[in-house]
Amino acid sequence: MQKYLGSMFLIVVLLFGLVGCAAPATDDANNDGNLSEPLRVLTYNIHHGAGVDGTLDLERIAKLIRDSGADLVALQEVDIRTTRTGGIDQLDTLARLTGMHGAFAPFMDFQGGQYGLGVLSVYPIDEAQPIVLPPGQREPRSALAVTVTVPEFGRVQFVSLHFDWLQDDSERYAQAVALNKALDGASRVILAGDFNDQPGSRTMQFLSSAFTNAQKPAHARFTFPSGSPEREIDFVMFRPMGAFVASAVVLDESIASDHRPVLAILEQLP
């Protein structure tokens, strides 16, 4: 099932309704003191399905998602019925190929269709709303917030994001500030996406004051460019801080996109 979202200029009011109704998750960790069952979160900038080999192939993207065992997937650079991707609905296609529920939010109209980001979830999507962010110089920006109910975790707000990529970080930082403000009041949040910034930047330092980063191994943390990665710009972050035991790995996929995917494992503390 795919949820389509309408005009992005009406969603600020809708978003506050979404955030306001996000109740804190109940503590469903096992009573014997063990950790809960892990939640597997994947983030992947799929480059509209176009690999570095020049091949447009959603089947291999879907296979990677299935093989990862991800419960929640944040996707960036998704096309819906654009000319460059043959007029297909990429989010709907990936939802069908993976057997997951899906939601899409556009950045903008593009080549006869739309370009934006999406979410896939093994759990039914209770609500889905885009969050309009300050625009970049080259294109508009948004994030997509969905609410799902996860066994042992309760209600979780899962957010797919894609911040501005220009070297000047002014718009990227403004987008992070706006996103954090929009999510104020939501108690259990997971951010996942292409942050287009690296650890130690002011954007990441700002977000780290409110969210915990699922750390990757120091020797294998780079995600871009996929063929020979030298930058860490794709992350999974969460709050409340200290609520989970979390780790992340960069998956060894160098062809299907210009980014490598990141898989995070979150376990709720008792």
> What is the Cα–Cα distance from 169 to 198, expressed in whole angstroms?
11
Is the per-residue pLDDT at 24 higher than 50? Answer: no
CA 260 to chain centre: 14
pLDDT-derived band at 13, boundaries 50, 70, 90: very low
**pLDDT score recorded for residue 5:** 46
Is the per-residue pLDDT at 3 higher than 80? Answer: no
- Write the CATH number for 225: 3.60.10.10
Whose tokens are 């972050």? That residue is 237
Q: Which domain holds residue 84?
A: 2-268
Residue 96 φ then ψ, to 5°: -70, -45
Query: Model's pTM, two decimal places?
Result: 0.87
Structurally, the chain folds into a number of domains equal to 1
> What is the Cα–Cα distance from 250 to 235, expressed in whole angstroms?
10
> What is the Cα–Cα distance from 85 to 264, expressed in whole angstroms?
29
Nearest alpha-carbon partner for 133 in 186, 82, 187, 195:
195
CA angle at 143 for the pair 188 and 90, rounded to the nearest 5°: 115
Q: Which of 13-22, 53-62, 172-181 has the lowest mean pLDDT?
A: 13-22
Q: Which has the higher per-residue pLDDT, 111 or 26?
A: 111
Is the per-residue pLDDT at 107 higher than 80? Answer: yes
pLDDT-derived band at 35, boundaries 50, 70, 90: low
pLDDT one-digit tens code per residue, 124-169: 999 999 999 998 777 899 999 999 999 988 999 999 999 999 999 9
Q: Which has the higher per-residue pLDDT, 17 or 265?
A: 265
**pLDDT score recorded for residue 117:** 97
Q: Which of 19-33, 142-156, 178-192 has the lowest mean pLDDT?
A: 19-33
